[in-house]
Structure 1
Amino acid sequence: MSTATTTPTSPYRLTSRGILRSEWHKLWTLRSTWIMLGLASVCTVAIGMIAAATYSPDPANEIDPVTYALLGTQIGQVAIAVLGILITAGEYSTGMVRATMAAVPRRLPVLRAKTAMYVTVALGTLLATNFVTFPLAQMFLGGTDLEASLGDPGIARAVAGSAIGTTLIGVMVLGLGSSLRSIPGAIGAYVGGLILLPQLAMMIPNDTVRDLLGYFPLPASESLAAVHTTSGDLSPGAGLLTLCAWAVASLTAAAYLLKRQDV
């Protein structure tokens, strides 16, 4: 007489949906998430309103209506980028990454889940903020040379493009945080490489260098947020492709290091 044996099975199974749910929970339980998103929204609205209320037309300067109304996104962009760093490098500073990688030994699904959650939250927040800020700013800009509405050609595209550009820069910085595994190091690389380096390179009296600077992340994002581009600037489509290339390159490097290095 033979006895049938059964192998016990675990009631828990690792799925993409489960990893996404876990990253979503971690994202919203961090106080820094609320602070950075709130800072980005408040700065965008407040600075946009102040700039619009104090606007004085100057015929000598041609100003883009969307770029001017969304001046606050320059500070909001920093907050969104820091959030990307905290999502990845922050886990290394707290040691939580060990538990995360023990639960997901393949590692790459964690990076994909973090990126997906970040894009969802950052892009949603920025789109809502931008589409609120622009009409509010127009309450003060009506009757000036910057008067415009969301229904005008190119306006809605530029308002949305500003949010998309900032989000893609954030994705690139998220990958940077994952690669460097250090909050101060990633913030330093972001400020030095994306903000200061292009400013210093502009001082080089060389046309080729200045043309190449147009393909850096910040100038590329500015082309997405502008209704009218000037000679030498990237078109919105080229700017979008450039930012996508930067983001993909950063995530590819992060994925490679995540697989090769120990936690």
Structure 2
Amino acid sequence: MSTATVTGAPAHRVTPARVLRSEWHKLWTLRSTSINLAVTSALTLAMGVGLGAAYDGTGEGGLDTVVFVLLGTQFATINLAVLGILATAGEYSTGQIRATMTAVPRRLPVLWSKAAVLAAVTFPLCLWTNLLTFPLAQSFLDGTDQSAALGDPGVLRALAGNAAGLTLLTVTALGIGALTRSVPVASGVYIGLVMILPEVLAILQYDAVDDAVRLFPSRALEALTTAQPMPGSPSPGTALLALTLWAAASLAAAATALRRRDV
């Protein structure tokens, strides 16, 4: 008879590595994960190449070349947010969360593991897509005002910054999903925060409000995506910090709710 059987100790302890492995497995066993990631990458690539092929050198004066090529990431902000929301709120809608929390009674490691796994999947995908989209689109833009190379100042930083920004937005959506525990509600909160609220606040003619709006997720992502920072926009470092704080606040709120509520 084994020692574990005599003492009544569990044969397998709950460790961070095992929780991570479990969340990785759960993410990839969902068919929607592969479909979502493939569609996100394809839309970004297709729109970037399509815009490059259709561009005639007029009508886009002043638009940063990286922002122009990566306009397709506007779809990515929604697609990836859906993935993040489903990773948490989706478990509540199916009832699977009860089994998850029974296996990991301390609860919070589940939230951190979900965020880590999602970030580990999202960032490489977005970065790879950006590094593929940019040169393909530029093959059509040679000789125009949007012509640029990967080695030009700020270009690689902007491509990587866009990938980091999208990853942090995805983690923010994951936290909102864990906080609201409802896919429709979380989707509404995310769209309101990222797309609607900044535009509403921008109408107000107050300097303090204008400064705050620049640090909202969508504006911060745009600042991260520019190769040459625009006047009045936050620096890439400030924009990255803002998105990090949005993600951290989302996860902190979700962690507080997770500890105080019943499953």
Query: Which residue number corresponds to residue 27 of structure 2?
Result: 27
Query: Which residue number corresponds to residue 201 of structure 1?
Result: 201
- Residue 59 (structure 1) shift: 7.4
- Residue 206 (structure 1) shift: 3.0
- Residue 6 (structure 1) shift: 4.3
Distance 1:59 1:80 in 2: 30
Query: Which residue number corresponds to residue 262 of structure 1?
Result: 262
Query: Which residue number corresponds to residue 180 of structure 1?
Result: 180
Distance 1:64 1:233 in 2: 13
Distance 2:6 2:225 in 1: 62
Other structure's SS at 1:56 match: coil
Alignment of structure 1 residues 210-225 onto 2, 5 Å: 210-225=210-225
- The TM-score normalised by the length of structure 2 is 0.95
Query: Which residue number corresponds to residue 156 of structure 1?
Result: 156
Other structure's SS at 1:227 match: coil
- Residue 168 (structure 1) shift: 0.6
Query: Which residue number corresponds to residue 68 of structure 1?
Result: 68
Unaligned segments of structure 2, at least 5 residues:
none
Letter of the structure 1 residue corresponding to residue 147 of structure 2: E
- The TM-score normalised by the length of structure 1 is 0.95
Distance 1:250 1:6 in 2: 44
Distance 2:60 2:11 in 1: 70
- Residue 39 (structure 1) shift: 1.5
Other structure's SS at 1:153 match: coil
- Residue 34 (structure 1) shift: 1.1
**Change over 3 Å in CA distance of 1:16–1:206 after alignment to 2:** same
- Residue 60 (structure 1) shift: 7.5
Distance 1:158 1:108 in 2: 33
Distance 1:60 1:184 in 2: 36
Instruction: Work out whether 1:110 is the aligned partner of 2:110.
Output: yes
Letter of the structure 1 residue corresponding to residue 159 of structure 2: V
Query: Which residue number corresponds to residue 125 of structure 1?
Result: 125
Alignment of structure 1 residues 36-75 onto 2, 5 Å: 36-58=36-58, 61-75=61-75
**Change over 3 Å in CA distance of 1:164–1:60 after alignment to 2:** closer
Letter of the structure 2 residue corresponding to residue 145 of structure 1: D
Distance 2:189 2:6 in 1: 55
- Residue 58 (structure 1) shift: 3.0
